[in-house]
Amino acid sequence: MTKPIYILGGFQTDFARNWSKEGKHITAMMREAVRGAMQRTQVEPADIDVGHVGNFAAELYTMQGHLGAFLLEADPGLSGLPTARHEAACASGSIALLAASAEIEAGRYDCALVLGVEQMKTVSAAIGGEYLGTAAWYEREAKGVEFPFPKLFGKLGDEYDRRYGLKDEHLARISAINYANAKRNQRAQTRTWYMSEDHASCESKYNQVIGGRIKVTDCSQVTDGAVAVFLASETFAKTWAKRTGKRLEDVARLRGWGHRTAPIAFADKIAESADQPYVLPHTRRAITDALQRAGITDVWQLDGIETHDCFTTSEYMAIDHFGLTEPGASWRAIEDGVIDFGGKLPINPSGGLIGAGHPVGATGVRQLLDAARQVTDSAGSYQVEGARKFATLNIGGSGTTSCVFVVGRD
């Protein structure tokens, strides 16, 4: 990072809510998140220089585009704010964060509002699955396919199986851990749902196969949610810290970032990586870029990871790609309890996308907010004790856009 970027905090809506049942327009969700973030951080509308929105497909789900403009609906004091909306499928939120942080690094602005949002419960699961197909190469990979993404991430599992061997019991364990973690998180979508490793392991009328080796319990959720955070320059963070009675060194900082794009078609990704140890080498590269920029030489310097478990196979991939094991041996970290809530390097203490929920465009921002809360001892009931460095991995498409952040405090 050329200049320090501070994360002042933010707000996440309750991911268990169904905003269509509440009779709400997407603006209501955005407004609650922005106002919640302003209230929690004591950042005033006049402090905010720029607004960035991460969103995947509001045009499809809600027939509403131009979401940047809706930031202004949160408060009359935001009128005139420069805004933009960013899209990179499930990584949209992280792309919005990258844009905001780049502007602060460039010295253009001092305080940025970044909001990730998705309202998905407006349509049936089948239609929603079709919309999500646009995050793949639609005509080649999704058109006419029922639930294309579970099938694509099922293939990721198959590729692991082909190269290294993969047991479904390890995927079931990933699912059970995420659900168990979500029970500690009062804003997680599945916090009241029943789950056990037993249930995740068995195929039944309540746990049917959706595509390939992917069962219902291997999937993240269809979620309505918005998350807002404030990023700030050192100049603003100093003033803000003084105003709110904080020490600057206690404020979370963005320590490093990684951002890589792989060929969009899943078959092309696999063909490209055929002779390489990592199944998704561009994702691996995004991770090593971020760790390097953060000055982290050993993954065990991290205290936790919020990763993109859109399916259990993507978390399985993240485990070896982060370097918790050698390539293909993610199962060992699972069996050894490394990724458990109380493990050596917990993954998704929030519950992740499987447990906490996956409002597509909001996920990257939710991960960053959770990481910032973890390193500032403000994650409440799902605090990883003493955490000082956390990483996030947010993926768009079938491993296409990979965004990684390292968050820490002094």
- Interacting residue ranges for another protein, rule: CB under 8 A: 13-14, 17, 22-25, 27-32, 36, 73, 183, 186-187, 191-196, 198-199, 202, 204-207
Q: Which is nearer to another protein, 59 or 73 (CB)?
A: 73
With CA atoms as reference, report the closest residue to 407 among 330, 327, 294: 294
Q: Which is nearer to another protein, 34 or 89 (CB)?
A: 34
Closest distance between another protein and the C-beta of residue 64, in Å?
12
SS (H, E, C) the chain: CCCCEEEEEEEECCCCCCCCCCCCCHHHHHHHHHHHHHHHHCCCHHHCCEEEEECCCHHHHHCCCCHHHHHHHHCHHHCCCCEEEECECECHHHHHHHHHHHHHHCCCCCEEEEEEEECCCCCCHHHHHHHHHHHCCHHHHHCCCCCHHHHHHHHHHHHHHHHHCCCHHHHHHHHHHHHHHHCCCCCCCCCCCCCCHHHHHCCECCECEEECCEEHHHECCCCCEEEEEEEECHHHHHHHHHHCCCCHHHCEEEEEEEEEECCCCHHHHHHHCCCCCCCCHHHHHHHHHHHHHCCCCCHHHCCEEECCCCEHHHHHHHHHHHCCCCCCCHHHHHHCCCCCCCCCCCECCCCHHHHCCCCHHHHHHHHHHHHHHHHCCCCHHHCCCCCCEEEEEEEECCCCEEEEEEEECC
Q: Which is nearer to another protein, 209 or 274 (CB)?
A: 209
Q: Which is nearer to another protein, 55 or 402 (CB)?
A: 55
Closest distance between another protein and the C-beta of residue 206, in Å?
4
Distance CA 387, CA 375 (A): 5
Radius of gyration of the chain from its Cα atoms, rounded to whole angstroms: 20
Closest distance between another protein and the C-beta of residue 365, in Å?
17
Q: What is the dihedral of CA 306, 187, 310, 87, to 10 degrees?
A: -90
Q: Which is nearer to another protein, 199 or 308 (CB)?
A: 199
Q: Which is nearer to another protein, 120 or 264 (CB)?
A: 120
Closest distance between another protein and the C-beta of residue 205, in Å?
7
Closest distance between another protein and the C-beta of residue 187, in Å?
7
Q: Which is nearer to another protein, 23 or 80 (CB)?
A: 23
Closest distance between another protein and the C-beta of residue 15, in Å?
10
Closest distance between another protein and the C-beta of residue 403, in Å?
27
Closest distance between another protein and the C-beta of residue 326, in Å?
33
Pairing of strands 5-12, 225-232: antiparallel
Q: Which is nearer to another protein, 289 or 377 (CB)?
A: 377
Q: Which is nearer to another protein, 168 or 268 (CB)?
A: 168
Q: Which is nearer to another protein, 355 or 408 (CB)?
A: 355
Closest distance between another protein and the C-beta of residue 32, in Å?
5
Closest distance between another protein and the C-beta of residue 30, in Å?
8
